[in-house]
Structure 1
Amino acid sequence: MSDHVAAVVVFVCFGLLLLVLLWPTASNGKRLLKKWQVLDPTDAQVADAVRYLKQRRLLYPWLYPAIGFFTPLREGHWDILVTVLAGTLLAELLALRPPRAARRVASLTPRGLFDIAAKGVLVSYVVIVLAAAIHLAIYLRWDLVGWLALSAAVVGVITWAAVTRPATGDQDVDMALRTRSVHVSAGLGSAVAGVLVLFPWGFIGILAWIAMANTKPVTAKIDR
């Protein structure tokens, strides 16, 4: 029982360490917006970005111990991948019903998936997941196919929520952060698929995550 408690304490402490290391600041928010093509962001726009980051990272200290302790996902230490993916999912679901005090904005044109996300990111993600599923099926790893399907479902829900959630704050920031949510979740899903298949596909999945998370949106779509 003491080992059980010690393991929980270690997981919680590591989750809190993640929160401290990743705590959003104004400089983080400004850097995030510039990366996603919101040029010369104002203080109000930076505040929107910091709020977006806090909604996700405040979940990490609680998700990391829960996922790391209760999910039997291989022997490898890839709990951080799943933690970030789960944090993105919960944050997007919570954003479906924004606080009453939140500043609302309306878009003059309907939002579609391809208005938010790059087609290359979405197609690459689908190809990676299908390739991983075929590989696991060939080797009869149906247990891992189940985990792959679950991660794909999570990415699908995040994508749906990023497109349909009510708009809040500045419109340029709102669209940029929606794009970030879709691209980062697709990248995380690709990394999960790669790790499930193992070397060398795990390495390829991590590279896909980095590439997708740094794929810039089309300027016209953000400025619309």
Structure 2
Amino acid sequence: MRVLLDMVIAAGVGLLLLMALWPTQSTGRRLLKSWRVQDPTPAQIDDAIRYLKRRRVLYPVLYAVLTLVPLVSGQGIGSLAAIVLAGTLLAELIATQLHRGGTQRVASLTPRGLFDIANQYVLIAYAVIVVIGLVVLVVDLRIGQIPALVVSVGAVTLVMWAAVARPADGDETVDRALRTRSVHVSAGLGAAVVGALAGGGFVFAGLLAWIAMSNTNYVAKKIFW
């Protein structure tokens, strides 16, 4: 009975976030402008809306499923926050693998590296936060939480790999901007997960890192298409 209640609560939180964050034309326009797509066209805005929808519709299901995972499940606000962070990161990972029907993916003719689409300081900061989190868990003898840290790092790594490796999808300018956003947002979510696992003041630091990384921009120096 308790498990079912936890699933309902988590799914309810996901539904609330889905309704509150449901993408609109203004949301898509604002997202593109924040990632330096000037004067986005209606088609570009549609690409941005589709990008957000593919992630957010997964929230209720993933949050509910994660209540069954011992690494993040439990009782209290802390556990619910961990489920939301982990579920949001997992939604980002799954959504990066989805392809918009009716479009043709185009492979890059120029080799693309992670530092070509992402801010190096975001990547370095994330790596430092992971190391600090690992040290805190080891020093505090909370070895049982290290697998959760490893899983979160693996998810972030997979999102970054997908952002680099996947072929272009849809509008080239929008695809490049959203590719960068995926890397930065996943790194920020990963940092927040590390902070939640470390506990104490690290929780607040992780949330600040999430906000900072998710709003740090980058303009690629190479032309890939």
TM-score, normalised to structure 2's length?
0.90
Residues 1:81 and 1:163: Cα distance change in structure 2 (over 3 Å): same
In the alignment, residue 139 of structure 2 is paired with which amino acid?
I
Residues 1:195 and 1:185: Cα distance change in structure 2 (over 3 Å): same
In 1, the alpha carbon distance for the partners of 2:67 and 2:145 equals 17
Confirm or deny: 8 A CA contact 2:110 2:224 kept in the other structure. no
Determine the structure 2 residue equivalent to 1:193: 194
Cα shift at 1:139: 1.7
Confirm or deny: 8 A CA contact 1:15 1:64 kept in the other structure. yes
Confirm or deny: 8 A CA contact 2:100 2:169 kept in the other structure. no
Cα shift at 1:80: 1.4
Confirm or deny: 8 A CA contact 1:175 1:222 kept in the other structure. no
Determine the structure 2 residue equivalent to 1:161: 162
Confirm or deny: 8 A CA contact 1:135 1:197 kept in the other structure. yes
CA RMSD after TM alignment = 2.0
Residues 1:211 and 1:221: Cα distance change in structure 2 (over 3 Å): farther
Q: Aligned pair count?
A: 220
Determine the structure 2 residue equivalent to 1:182: 183
The sequence identity of aligned pairs, in percent, is 50
In 1, the alpha carbon distance for the partners of 2:224 and 2:162 equals 21
Q: What do the CA deviations read for 1:17-76 (whole angstroms, capped 9, x no partner)?
A: 221111111111111100011111011111111111111111111011111354443651
Determine the structure 2 residue equivalent to 1:66: 65
Cα shift at 1:222: 7.8
Cα shift at 1:14: 2.5
Q: Is 2:209 the partner of 1:208?
A: yes
Determine the structure 2 residue equivalent to 1:41: 40
Alignment of 1:14-25 (within 5 A): 14-25=13-24
Query: What are the ranges of 5 or more consecutive residues in structure 1 without an aligned counterpart?
Result: none
In 2, the alpha carbon distance for the partners of 1:121 and 1:4 equals 37
Determine the structure 2 residue equivalent to 1:53: 52
Confirm or deny: 8 A CA contact 1:116 1:175 kept in the other structure. yes
Residues 1:51 and 1:126: Cα distance change in structure 2 (over 3 Å): same
Cα shift at 1:145: 1.3
Query: What are the ranges of 5 or more consecutive residues in structure 2 without an aligned counterpart?
Result: none
Residues 1:194 and 1:103: Cα distance change in structure 2 (over 3 Å): same
TM-score, normalised to structure 1's length?
0.90
Determine the structure 2 residue equivalent to 1:86: 90
In 2, the alpha carbon distance for the partners of 1:223 and 1:34 equals 21
Runs (4+) of structure 1 exceeding 6 A deviation are: none
Residues 1:110 and 1:135: Cα distance change in structure 2 (over 3 Å): same
